[in-house]
Structure 1
Amino acid sequence: MQSLPLFHRVAGQKIVVLGEGEAAAAKRRLIERAGGICVGEPEAHHARLAFIAIDDAREGEAAAIRMRCRGLLVNVTDRTALCEFTVPSILDRDPVLVAVGTGGASAGLAKMLRLRLERLLPPGLGRLAQALGMAREAIRARYPQGADRRRALDIALGEGGALDPLTEHGAGVVDDWLVSDADTMREGRYAIALRSADPDDLTLREARLLGSADYVVHAPGVPAAILNRARADAVRVPVAESDTTGDGVIVAIHGP
């Protein structure tokens, strides 16, 4: 990755916006939508972020230097080389946010991807997220062990699952799932024979297994691009080639 994607909580925080015109106005709308307070350069010492939308290249660069010298992280519209952070195209299903970024390569591409995703995600996705948040303690009570809880949610939220996020759900769906007798504790060992070093060559099933595995046992030659498809908190266990199920094979293990 060329950038580390993060979500900043800016409610009640001052953020510098310099410049006039539609680009600056768009940044102000975005900041205010997230609860931030737009300020000018005189209040930069109270801010953490700065957005610069100045048409003149020299003036924009000079403003970026001034803001950076005051310790702010800077975004300069249409000047990727001067940016310390970029602004993604945002799909809002509050509290679910999907941010599509291209590292500043093409805002148009990010926008079109976001528009395609808009058609895929149901309007009620935010309600599902809120229901899961409100049921956090009830979910912990039913599945006290973290690994069990992750597996249960992976299955329920998976394709065709009781809480499939791409399906429109009615009220009470999370409560119904918690009291259901559905099989939520599938576990086992799954061997994945790699066909290439390209993670896009994984089948959908293989990608899902990697994405929900608790442990990933792999031969030394398995590419990092493949391993990166596993959960960030999954335990990686490198083993000798002779201990795997074949040359270039990765094994995803669910359960203890």
Structure 2
Amino acid sequence: MDYFPVFLDLKKRRCLLVGGGDVATRKGRLLVKAGAILRVVAPQISTELRELVQQCQGEMHLREYHGSDVDDCVLAIAATDIDSLNQVISQDAKAKYIPVNVVDSPALCTYITPAIIDRSPLVIAISSGGESPVLARLIRAKLETLIPSSYGKLAQFASRWRERIKHRFADTDQRRRFWEKILQGPAAELVFNGQDAQADTLLSDAIHQEDDSLTRGEVYLVGGGPGDPELLTLRALRLMQQADVVLYDRLVSDGVMELVRRDAERIYVGKRRSEHAMEQENINQLLVDLALQGKRVLRLKGGDPFIFGRGGEEIELLAQHHIPFQVVPGITAASGCAAYAGIPLTHRDYAQSVRFVTGHLQDDSTNLQWPELAEPGQTLVFYMGLVGLAEICAALIAHGRAPDTPVALVEKGTTRDQRVLIADLATMAQTVADNNVHGPTLLIIGEVVKLHASLQWFSPAQNPVDSD
């Protein structure tokens, strides 16, 4: 972290602003909005900046800068286009231990001004450390669309009740859960709609109710997608941020794990083929045990939990113990890896259907319905097919699929380490042997693979290896 973020209380405090043009005016707006008293120094000062000085009952000096101008100020901003003057202002402020910002000159600053999302009293600041202010503003624009202006009202609502909630729930975990329930429930909707009185009544009733949902555990079965954290759903991200403990496996990427609540307990449960950190039956029971302890348990899986993720087995036991659970779908590896490899799974010229197939069964065999799988006009997607790759290719050829049927193997799909190997049924096993492939991988078989050459350049992550 290059800068330590802080929020300053500038109410009724004098701040120096040197400069009178458009940039200085923009800085003046922010300072006055924060309650500061302006001392503006410049030979020429814009009309709006003059009005801002009058509004805050500040000072305006139509002259060149003097070293004494920094006296009695708690903050200084240099917004001139004269480099030598900016350097002097910076030196004077530093000599008197006054925080100083020189616009577009990070080297002369002791602090930098971020891009701001103002939902007062909720304020969000975004900074690039002075390296790319435009990028910070672009990120602010994205967040502006996600955070309604009414969130400021919600923060004020929470502030009014903070002390009463603190006295009602001495336990910090119960208090956090109560607030999470309130701030995402009907009371929040009432505040958003301007119905504060009704929201107060609802919250008052909730405080005096004996609500076992605050102490009762639950389980979130969440699909973490194929690897790229930007493919997570909004609901998945919300639950990842409120879980007390997370059980995760090998297919969950580091980028996705970074988005889990930082103080959540983390339990690694595997799984690598034939090398499980914890047997599936033990995982199922652990979910039950943790929920019965009142924990909010996140079972985070790569891809989608209901597509070869054994999610159905896990929730069966939860249902038997009447433990509440939520299932959040994720983008399965077939969709994510194919898209990032530039391979559409269906195409009216090549494939009118797609099949998802597991590459190995519970007994480690590949005893599948080969005659059906060998039918033309369909795309086959094999999960966990790396170990049985040679057997899969040979079986498809033996049952009538052409040896030159295109095949793609996607390694570590949707991540920065993604690699795509292109061959056919006759040569893919040797191609993999020649390229030192490691899981996780996904196998795509069918005519749609031909489109990879023309569509791959659209892919966010791409490192193709062609057998030709």
Alignment of 1:1-256 (within 5 A): 1-39=1-39, 41-111=67-137, 113-114=139-140, 117-118=143-144, 121-158=147-184, 162-163=187-188, 167-172=192-197, 173-180=199-206, 184-185=213-214, 187-190=217-220, 198-215=228-245, 226-231=256-261, 234-236=263-265, 255=294
SS in 2 for 1:163: helix
* Between 1-10 and 112-121, the greater mean CA deviation after superposition: 112-121
Structure 1 residues 119 and 208: CA distance shift in structure 2, 3 A: closer
Preserved CA contact (<8 Å) 1:216 1:236: yes
Structure 1 residues 205 and 122: CA distance shift in structure 2, 3 A: closer
Gaps of 5+ in 1: none
Structure 1 residues 217 and 14: CA distance shift in structure 2, 3 A: farther
Structure 1 residues 55 and 166: CA distance shift in structure 2, 3 A: farther
Which residue identity is paired with 2:115? S
SS in 2 for 1:12: coil
Structure 1 CA distance for aligned equivalents of residues 76 and 161 of structure 2: 37
Partner deviation per Cα, 1:191-242 (whole Å, 9 max, x = no partner): 667556653344333322221133456789987755543445x255576967
Structure 2 CA distance for aligned equivalents of residues 198 and 166 of structure 1: 35
Preserved CA contact (<8 Å) 1:75 1:82: yes
Q: Which has the higher contact order (CA 8 A, sep 6+)?
A: 1
* Alpha-carbon distance, 1:190 to partner: 4.4
* Alpha-carbon distance, 1:138 to partner: 2.7
- Percent identity for Structure 1 against Structure 2: 28
* Between 45-54 and 118-127, the greater mean CA deviation after superposition: 118-127
Preserved CA contact (<8 Å) 1:125 1:168: no
* Alpha-carbon distance, 1:148 to partner: 0.8
Structure 1 residues 193 and 107: CA distance shift in structure 2, 3 A: same
* Between 19-28 and 234-243, the greater mean CA deviation after superposition: 234-243
SS in 2 for 1:72: coil
Structure 2 CA distance for aligned equivalents of residues 3 and 163 of structure 1: 34
SS in 2 for 1:135: helix
Preserved CA contact (<8 Å) 2:187 2:202: no
Structure 1 residues 131 and 30: CA distance shift in structure 2, 3 A: same
Which residue identity is paired with 1:170? Q
SS in 1 for 2:12: coil
* Between 189-198 and 168-177, the greater mean CA deviation after superposition: 189-198
With the length of structure 1 as denominator, give the TM-score of the two structures. 0.73
SS in 1 for 2:20: coil
* Between 99-108 and 84-93, the greater mean CA deviation after superposition: 99-108
* Between 124-133 and 146-155, the greater mean CA deviation after superposition: 124-133
Q: Rg larger in 1 or in 2?
A: 2
Structure 1 residues 117 and 45: CA distance shift in structure 2, 3 A: same
Structure 1 CA distance for aligned equivalents of residues 71 and 279 of structure 2: 59
Preserved CA contact (<8 Å) 2:247 2:269: no
Structure 1 residues 124 and 210: CA distance shift in structure 2, 3 A: closer
Structure 1 residues 130 and 69: CA distance shift in structure 2, 3 A: same
Structure 1 residues 199 and 118: CA distance shift in structure 2, 3 A: closer
Structure 2 CA distance for aligned equivalents of residues 11 and 76 of structure 1: 22
SS in 1 for 2:188: coil
Structure 1 CA distance for aligned equivalents of residues 136 and 102 of structure 2: 17
* Alpha-carbon distance, 1:48 to partner: 3.9
Query: Pairwise CA RMSD of aligned residues?
Result: 4.0
Structure 1 residues 245 and 31: CA distance shift in structure 2, 3 A: farther
Preserved CA contact (<8 Å) 1:132 1:174: no
Structure 1 residues 175 and 4: CA distance shift in structure 2, 3 A: farther
Gaps of 5+ in 2: 42-66, 271-275, 281-285, 296-468
Structure 1 CA distance for aligned equivalents of residues 219 and 257 of structure 2: 16
